[in-house]
Structure 1
């Protein structure tokens, strides 16, 4: 049987890159001979993460659709043709691709168009509950469409859940095998006590100023529960958070309140977290649900409202709480999150309900769609 060649298209943000890498790992696990190439931008996370995973990266020009009259309107057609040409060349190289899998974003649409012209089957995966423009266009003629959330409106969609990045998939397996051992290992890696509750605060790599200020402002009450706090502020936001802490706790740092701008090995934090306060990006929601970790979700207040929709299923199942960004204050944290943190039984029940709403085999489900698209040759 000839080796399969699959082109993966997606980049710019972790939301596109992480599921791409997760699918790549699953395809290689099933067939180590599968040849993979990724289409991405030169500026996004994929420029480092994709080559680090041993996958060839072909950079496609980033061509945003002009939103208002400007010189970019005149330059757009030429840039667009170049982007499609780069994608077409990558798809046709080395005897041609057997399938193109797109995850949305700037590079996905040129890849979908080039694949359609070449007669190569397309598989679309949409991460968010509310699909973006690229995937709405791509799904119209795709051989297969996978979606993370059941309510996502795309034609012919199959619910696959989110392909979990390898580090999180490994943690899911470790917790299923021995949850206590996984917790100890994560806590010890971070200098935390595995026998005491851990509150994880995170707004993603860029942080969330509202989340940072609200939790730091309630630090005294949070610590009074006996919990430890691991507060990931986001790049450039740690000093503001330390100042908020100083106002809440006094000038002397508290040994149980740990402030970091960023944590590379996020799986350690998730291994020992009892409650998470953070945004509701699809990756965050799906990883926490797969791991059975309850959360207070604070949707990003800008955009098209997809973060609120992302968290809706887990919240409705009882695996988390939802609070609007404007309503998240130190007083809200004291009134709502602190009693939850102090109630291990309630946290455990929420964790079980979160796990019931989670999908742990999203990469395998999406790989099945890829195999089906190739097998049917559509």
Structure 2
């Protein structure tokens, strides 16, 4: 009999891409498994999951109010309704695995009510509230970062496996010689840029960053005067600036593996997925942690900073003046960076095998 596995999570690429990496690997190992996703109506999962060939169902996005208001009084009723929706979606599942995000809390509770086995993967160095709830019900817990926050309670038994990444990202570090030059040349040609000039890759996560966007736009004259080419992912919901000979703005970068290969330096936020990808491809970066949530982006960046793979600047200090004044140091660091070899076993394979083992018991 075919097994049914539900992947819960979404909102941003940091939740969706790791889930898809595991789903794709699991489908290769067990083609007869029925794999589906639960997300919210407005998350990035609605573009990426169907494109990967998996169905996605929706659950209401219930935000926990951060201050006393009428919405706080209504919240328990809305949350209970979302749990009931989760019960209906998970009733026939054999296993639920969550990756964090707004869809996860009601799904975790629904799985607990139904007695379904739950697994979770926590991508950030500091867990969000969804997986802090999920860990209470999880049969197995996987983490991408080791941190003090994960050495207490059920987190103590978590397996440190790194981040599930797409196959093309994992294969990037294996490229050598002519093969790497070919990937780089093809991508630069697609961008219609020059292979003889420095290429800066800028992105602020899947949703973009207005603060980073402003600093880059204010630095364009400096980049032009110094023959620096900029590929700038501004975010799907942000205005697209005018392109020039040396400046290529895009809403979103689909092929990140090729983009990393073609670039000489990266400027980005320090979401868990970005940090894991940078480590996998061996690319030096300037990281600007997003100052929200529980400080997870600052914690995410520390491993790369400590290994010499990144410089980290706080959001309130980063601007065009800082960038121009520190540009020479950034280029020297990028040119001198020697990446560490990556392990052969992928996190996607580890989780997939764990799912298969659990379902065979």
- Considering fraction of residues, name the structure with more helix: 1
Q: CA deviation at 1:84?
A: 1.9
Distance 1:86 1:295 in 2: 42
What's the offset of the Cα at 1:170? 5.3
Measure how far apart 1:107 and its partner are: 1.8
Stretches of 4+ aligned residues off by more than 6 angstroms? 357-360
1:45-102 Cα deviation digits (max 9, x unpaired): 2223222222122211222234344443443343333322222222222xxx332101
Aligned partners of 1:140 and 1:327: how far apart in 2? 38
Task: Give, in angstroms, the shift of residue 294 of structure 1.
Answer: 0.4
Name which of structure 1's ranges 27-36 and 296-305 shifts more when overlaid on structure 2.
Answer: 296-305
> How many angstroms apart in 1 are the aligned matches of 2:300 and 2:178?
28
Instruction: Please tell me the root mean square deviation across aligned C-alpha atoms, in Å.
Output: 2.7
Structure 2 residue matching 1:61: 3-state secondary structure? coil
More deviation, 63-72/323-332? 63-72
Distance 2:73 2:268 in 1: 41
Q: 2: distance between equivalents of 1:72 and 1:221?
A: 48
Are the equivalent residues in 2 in contact too, given 1:101–1:123 (CA < 8 A)? yes
- Give the Å deviation of 1:221: 4.3
Hey, what does 2:356 align to over in structure 1? 371
Asked whether the equivalents of residues 168 and 267 of structure 1 are also in contact (C-alpha less than 8 Å), the reply is yes
Confirm or deny that 1:103 pairs with 2:99: yes
Per the TM alignment, residue 44 of structure 1 is displaced from its structure 2 partner at its CA by 1.5
**1:313 and 2:303 matched:** yes
Residue aligning to 2:139 = 143
The Cα of 1:197 is off from its aligned counterpart by 2.5
Structure 1: runs of 5+ lacking an equivalent: 243-252
1:317 positional shift: 0.3
CA contact (8 A) 2:86 2:106 kept: yes
Alpha-carbon contact 1:121-1:143 (below 8 Å) kept: yes
The residue number in structure 2 matching 1:203 is 204
CA 1:148 to 1:88, structure 2 compared with 1: closer, same or farther past 3 Å?
Answer: same
Residues 148, 160 of structure 1: 8 Å contact kept = yes
Q: How far, CA to CA, are the matches of 1:257 and 1:58 in structure 2?
A: 39
Tell me the distance in 2 between the aligned counterparts of 1:188 and 1:233.
21
Counterparts of residues 157-172 of structure 1 (less than 5 Å): 157-169=158-170, 171-172=172-173
Q: CA deviation at 1:25?
A: 0.4
TM-score scaled to structure 2, two decimals?
Answer: 0.88
Give the structure 2 partner of residue 347 of structure 1.
334
The within-5 A match list for 1:1-378 is 2-93=1-92, 97-151=93-147, 153=150, 154-169=155-170, 171-172=172-173, 174=175, 178-223=179-224, 225-234=226-235, 235-239=237-241, 255-341=245-331, 343=332, 346-350=333-337, 352-353=338-339, 355-356=340-341, 361-375=346-360, 377=361
Distance apart, 1:39 and its partner CA: 1.2
Shift of 1:133: 0.9
Q: Encode CA deviations 1:225-248: one digit per residue, 9 max, x unaligned.
A: 543221233343444xx6xxxxxx
Distance in 1 between residues matched to 2:213 and 2:39, nearest whole Å: 32
**Aligned length in residues:** 355
Residues 190, 269 of structure 1: 8 Å contact kept: no
